[in-house]
């Protein structure tokens, strides 16, 4: 079995009680807040297709409370919005340590902090191993390689593939706006790809993949593209795994953004906030993005790369009608460059830049504002002739991939992890 932890009791009320007890031991303030707001929040409708609905409601209640607390605190000028949201990361933080199966070290790759997970058993014959570079999610503003679910995922990957995992602790916005998170990852990867470093970890240079979920999937896709355009880069990736990735900032009103505007765990408002914070702390961009009126004449020329009426199969159109985002004559200066930069929005490249990309695994979820970002990239990669495995979870929601650790452990999260690792086994 990939996941050894047995299922605990399935009574929803018991689960809820245990969940809340665990919270209390960690943060009394959040418990109280969650408690007070539960009555209100559980009435948010969650689609019937979603499994373990009750548990998702409680989890969502916690996230939503935190979002409100962050907004409130930001409004009063007490603490910055993302500072409050960072509690999610703090609560789930663990100390990655070596055990019987996995040897863990914290390293610095050309100034970039990484955690390296290796199989403990030294294969005596000096056989080279595969490697996975992992980039965590969290909207470029939150998250850490040291969160429990990412630590667990890295260990599972090492054990199932007998591979080396490099989990990158890139710097976050704010204060580190685009392109710093991207550049951190790129520097770390280039360092790892040096012959001497690969040799030190006994990694086969022909069998390295990059993977990431959500904003990590965005960075993974961008890394795969940029490495290829780097003339001095001889080592290239063999595969890329993009788990409900963020792919574009031009159209924040795709059918999936509309359908899932209030869906747990990532409401549209929060995703738009992540985008705007990635680029700037100037709130004008946030408000323009919320209205989908942030495009300029310059970015307007790239809307063809995210035209969902062409790039989404009919089945994803739903009842929504396409209308191109309006173009403003002039926007703030940051809009011109970052908004059209494929290192931020990997969908914004011509087909010629996609053709030679490594084979791809793309996971999408039906109940996710980012669903259409992933599906559009699948269409574009396939049109360019790239080998793509697309797994669409019709009962999936955003964040499920990392909901594998008690008390927020979901069956669907385990299935997602299993299917992803299975794909790596076969394709890396």
The catalytic site residues sit at 214, 368, 398
Question: Between 411-427 and 148-161, two packed helices, what is the crossing angle to 10 degrees?
Answer: 40
Which residue in 290, 269, 256 sits closest to 397, CA to CA? 256
Torsion sign, CA atoms 387, 391, 397, 399: negative
Segment contacting ligand NAG by CB under 6 A, of 115-123, 260-268, 317-325, 379-387? 317-325
Comparing CB distances to ligand NAG, the nearer of 298 and 419 is 298
How far is it, in rounded angstroms, from Cα 38 to Cα 65?
A: 9
Which residue, 20 or 324, is less far from ligand NAG as judged by CB?
324
Considering only CA atoms, which of 223, 143, 140, 145 is closest in space to residue 175? Answer: 140
Q: Which of 296, 307, 411, 427 binds ligand NAG (CB under 6 A)?
A: 307
Q: Which residue has the tokens 């996975």?
A: 132
Phi, psi of 178 (to 5 degrees): -50, 140
Q: Which of 28, 32, 36, 310 binds ligand NAG (CB under 6 A)?
A: 310
Total residue length of the chain = 428
The stretch among 183-191, 204-212, 240-248, 319-327 that binds ligand NAG (CB under 6 A) is 319-327
Which position among 234, 321, 329, 352 is part of the footprint of ligand NAG (CB under 6 A)? 321
| Helix, coil or strand: residue 101 | coil
- Is there binding between residue 304 and ligand NAG (CB under 6 A)? yes
With CB under 6 A as the contact rule, which of the stretches 60-68, 90-98, 192-200, 307-315 interacts with ligand NAG? 307-315
To the nearest whole angstrom, how small is the minimum distance from the Cβ of residue 122 to ligand NAG?
55
Distant-in-sequence, close-in-space partners of 24: CB < 8 Å, separation ≥ 6: 31
Residue 246-285 contact track with ligand NAG, rule CB under 6 A, x = bound: ----------------------------------------
- Determine if 126 is a binding residue for ligand NAG (CB under 6 A): no
CB 397 within 8 A of CB 368: yes
**What three-state secondary structure class fits 175?**
coil
Q: Which of 29, 75, 319, 329 binds ligand NAG (CB under 6 A)?
A: 319
Radius of gyration of the chain (CA): 21
Measured CA to CA, the distance from residue 215 to residue 418 in angstroms comes to 21
Query: Rounded CA gap, 208 and 393, in Å?
Result: 26
Which tokens go with 172?
């976050």
Largest CA distance in the chain: 65
Contact call for residue 162 and ligand NAG (CB under 6 A): no
Q: Find the shortest distance in angstroms from Cβ 411 to ligand NAG.
A: 33
Q: Judged by CB under 6 A, which stretch of 41-49, 71-79, 306-314, 338-346 contacts ligand NAG?
A: 306-314
Number of Cβ atoms within 10 Å of the Cβ of 199: 11
**At its nearest, how many Å lie between ligand NAG and the CB of residue 309?**
5
| 327 belongs to the binding site for ligand NAG (CB under 6 A) | no
Q: Which is nearer to ligand NAG, 235 or 303 (CB)?
A: 303
Size of the site for ligand NAG (CB under 6 A): 9
From 13-21, 146-154, 229-237, 303-311, give the range in contact with ligand NAG by CB under 6 A.
303-311
Nearest-approach distance from CB 318 to ligand NAG, in angstroms: 8
Q: In the complex with ligand NAG, which residue's Cβ is closer, 233 or 323?
A: 323
Nearer to ligand NAG, 287 or 304 (CB): 304
Query: Which of residues 303 and 384 has its CB atom nearest to ligand NAG in the complex?
Result: 303
3-state DSSP: the chain helix, strand, coil percent, rounded to 5? 45, 15, 40
CB closer to ligand NAG, 161 vs 376: 376
Give phi and psi for 298, each to the nearest 5. -65, -50
The phi and psi torsions of 135 (rounded to 5 degrees) equal -120, 115
Judged by CB under 6 A, does residue 320 bind ligand NAG?
Answer: yes
Q: Does 313 bind ligand NAG (CB under 6 A)?
A: no
Question: If binding is defined by CB under 6 A, does position 26 make contact with ligand NAG?
Answer: no
Q: Does 324 bind ligand NAG (CB under 6 A)?
A: yes
Q: How many CB atoms lie within 10 A of CB 196?
A: 6
Q: What angle do CA 403, 249, 345 make, to 5 degrees?
A: 85
In contact, 154 and 420? CB cutoff 8 Å: no
CB of 128 to ligand NAG, least distance (A): 46
Task: Tell me if 303 contacts ligand NAG by CB under 6 A.
Answer: yes
Binds ligand NAG by CB under 6 A, chosen from 159, 293, 309, 427: 309
The binding site for ligand NAG (CB under 6 A) comprises 303-304, 307, 309-310, 319-321, 324
């Amino acid at each position: 079995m990939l996941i050894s932890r047995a299922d605990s009791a399935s009574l929803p009320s018991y689960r809820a009680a245990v969940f809340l007890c665990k919270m209390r031991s960690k943060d009394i303030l959040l418990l109280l807040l969650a408690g007070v707001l539960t009555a209100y929040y559980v009435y948010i409708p969650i689609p019937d297709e979603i499994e373990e609905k009750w548990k998702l409601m409680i989890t969502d209640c916690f996230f939503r409370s935190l979002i409100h607390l962050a907004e409130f605190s930001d409004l009063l000028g007490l603490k910055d919005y993302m500072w409050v949201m960072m509690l999610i990361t703090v609560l789930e933080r663990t100390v990655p340590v070596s055990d019987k199966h996995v040897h863990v070290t914290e390293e610095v790759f050309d100034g970039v902090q990484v955690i390296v997970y290796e199989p403990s058993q030294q294969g005596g014959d000096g056989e080279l191993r595969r490697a996975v570079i992992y980039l965590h999610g969290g909207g470029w503003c939150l998250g850490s390689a040291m969160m429990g679910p990412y630590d667990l995922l890295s260990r599972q990957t090492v054990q199932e593939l007998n591979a080396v995992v490099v989990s990158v602790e890139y710097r976050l916005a704010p204060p580190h706006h685009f392109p710093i998170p991207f550049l951190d990852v790129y520097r770390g990867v280039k360092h790892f790809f040096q012959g001497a470093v690969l040799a030190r970890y006994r990694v086969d240079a022909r069998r390295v993949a990059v993977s990431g979920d959500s904003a990590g999937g965005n960075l993974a896709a961008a890394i795969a593209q940029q490495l290829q355009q780097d003339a001095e880069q001889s080592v290239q990736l063999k595969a890329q795994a993009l788990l409900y990735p963020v792919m574009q900032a031009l159209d924040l009103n795709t059918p999936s953004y509309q359908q899932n505007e209030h869906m747990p765990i990532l409401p549209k408002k929060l995703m738009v906030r992540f985008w705007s914070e990635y680029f700037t702390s100037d709130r004008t961009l946030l408000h323009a993005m919320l209205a989908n009126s942030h495009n300029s004449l310059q970015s307007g020329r790239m809307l063809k790369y995210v035209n969902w009426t062409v790039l989404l199969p009919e089945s994803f159109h739903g009842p929504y009608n396409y209308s191109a985002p309006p173009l403003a004559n002039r926007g703030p200066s940051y809009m011109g460059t970052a908004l059209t930069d494929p290192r931020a929005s990997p969908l914004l490249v011509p087909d010629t830049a996609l053709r030679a990309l490594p084979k791809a695994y793309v996971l999408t979820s039906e109940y996710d504002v980012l669903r259409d970002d992933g599906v559009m990239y699948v269409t574009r990669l396939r049109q360019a002739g790239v080998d793509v495995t697309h797994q669409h979870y019709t009962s999936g929601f955003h964040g499920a991939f990392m909901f594998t650790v008690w008390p927020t452990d979901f069956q669907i999260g385990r299935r997602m992890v299993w299917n992803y690792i299975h794909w790596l086994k076969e394709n890396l």
